[in-house]
A and B are shown apart, each in its own frame.
Chain A
């Protein structure tokens, strides 16, 4: 396997792999098949691929309808147009009747790059998380992206999965399987808990090394499922470290940071510091430069981890 792969690429390959095994899988896209990578499925299974044109709202409700006939629709477009534009279709056509629709949104977050603010969705996790019964996942690398698709197929009900455009390092081992709602503790620590999801997980592992160099011991928890949140894993680790930093490529309002802060506040109040996009819009630029610009990297996590530790009583 390549050292780096975008989670959208892994998604496209997973659709192809699982689509070959399960003929109930049908795929819908809104004129973005080349970008979302559903084009791989389209080429192999044209009779099960339906382009809806640039009409996302209809696409979401069509998927809701076809799911009632026993098909498993995977619906793809950019996160902005799935969670953003079609929020209400997802909420009312898919969420309320708890239908078996898999919304696989690509191009989430700042790492979209040059397309800029209108296409960089930093709000999708917040929006999807508020829908009762919705499973919300944010895989951290290509291996986990595949595992998320597999888990979604085996789960009966609505699922939102967020994929990115930028190639990310692979750190999960091939054959890795995930359990929806079960966080993965990657590293133990004593001084601070780093909770991360998506592309921030590999940054969190790097941040842990930097902190270790300064004599600070950090644990790292990969939360691939934002909802249902594995509160137990997070709270149990917070009991050991007494401070939490949450890192995500998302607005600090409403996403994983909020979810963890809510869980900690209710179960075991210790300092929680959120690391992410600081309630601003994105900008155009190469993804790697934007990641630096917004501090969405290991150094950014290190800074916030120290803030969390300083807040300990």
Chain B
């Protein structure tokens, strides 16, 4: 049963990757690298962890998710479409003039998006506000925020880390999509913000480090996070940027550019083949 669940989530993650690439390819711009690295996390959140209702996206007791690294939205959009918040055909007009799916998430327009993000460092603070809102209202919903590696260089992220620990926001879960790369190269070379673990622990956080492309480890970490009381939990998800597409993996150059037709076809065939190996039949 557990194996079937993991297999199912792996398939969904692959569909998310395919959807994200479909969006970026049709837009001729966008950010595939981080969308691919975080697809497994999104699959676990939206298809296992989050208590949400597609038919009532603004349900006040729902769990919240904030994509603080807003540029990775092709992954979020593919996930929301997969979940049924809007039609998958919307992915084809991502970033187009007048289209629903903006270059960065717009909570006003897009069903299922809990916060408008894109300017790095801000979304995570917004998530802290949501978690605080739940606390003082005596509500049991949880708030999750996905923050990027490079994003962690923003001072505001550390202001929020301080805030969440100070107000004991144990209903908040920070997930760092640690793919080790940012636009200008390796995070360690551009501005070394690592290691995260001792810093977060020093701020008073519970920290769990996992392979962020491993469904089993993600599910276990989310479950462990839920059990920790009195302090917030950070999941340091070590991921591979561009995960699932051979020529995009671990390449900073694929942070923010679209594949051409030939590259797109190769990417789709690689991901489809992987899905077939998993036993996909779609």
Contacts and interface: CB of A to CB of B under 8 A. Distances in A.
A47 B136 CA distance: 8
Interface stretch (A67-75, A116-124, A237-245, A255-263): A67-75
A69 B163 contact: no
B163 A55 contact: yes
Interface string B97-140: 00000000011100000111011011111111111111011010
Interface residues of A, number: 29
B66 to A, nearest CB: 8
A53 B126 contact: no
Interface residues of B, number: 35
A97 B118 contact: no
B156 interface: yes
A66 B129 contact: yes
A204 interface: no
B132 A58 contact: no
Nearest to A55: B159
Interface centre among A48, A52, A61, A64 (most CB of B within 10 A): A61
Main secondary structure of the interface of B (DSSP, over half): helix
A118 B206 CA distance: 39
B108 to A, nearest CB: 6
B107 A97 contact: yes
Interface string B51-84: 0000000001000001000000000000000000
A88 interface: yes
A62 B114 contact: no
A58 B137 contact: no
A49 to B, nearest CB: 11
B116 A97 contact: yes
A65 B119 contact: no
B129 A64 contact: yes
Contact of A69 (B60, B118, B166): B60
Most buried by B among A65, A68, A70, A93: A65
B162 A63 contact: no
B247 interface: no
B39 to A, nearest CB: 25
B132 A93 contact: no
Contacts of B123: 61
A92 B209 CA distance: 31
A98 interface: yes
Given A26-B136, A70-B60, A97-B108, A61 B162 contact: no
A152 to B, nearest CB: 18
A171 interface: no
A58 B133 contact: no
B115 A69 contact: no
B252 interface: no
A92 B102 CA distance: 14
B120 to A, nearest CB: 10
Contacts of B125: 57-58, 60-62, 64-65, 89, 93
A60 B163 CA distance: 12
A50 B137 CA distance: 14
Contacts of B133: 65-66, 68-71
Nearest to B60: A70
A96 interface: yes
Contacts of B128: 58, 61-62, 65
Contact of A63 (B129, B136, B167): B129
A68 B159 contact: no
B160 interface: yes
A52 B66 CA distance: 21
Nearest to B107: A97
B122 A92 contact: yes
Interface string A35-59: 0000000000001101011010110
**What 3 A-B pairs are tightest by C-beta distance, nearest first?**
A65-B129, A69-B133, A61-B125
Given A50-B167, A62-B160, 9 more contacts: A55-B156, A61-B122, A62-B126, A65-B128, A65-B131, A66-B132, A68-B114, A68-B129, A97-B107
26 contacts: A26-B136, A47-B136, A48-B136, A50-B167, A52-B163, A53-B163, A55-B163, A57-B156, A58-B163, A61-B122, A61-B125, A62-B129, A62-B163, A64-B115, A64-B129, A65-B115, A65-B125, A65-B127, A66-B129, A68-B107, A68-B114, A69-B134, A71-B137, A89-B156, A92-B122, A97-B108
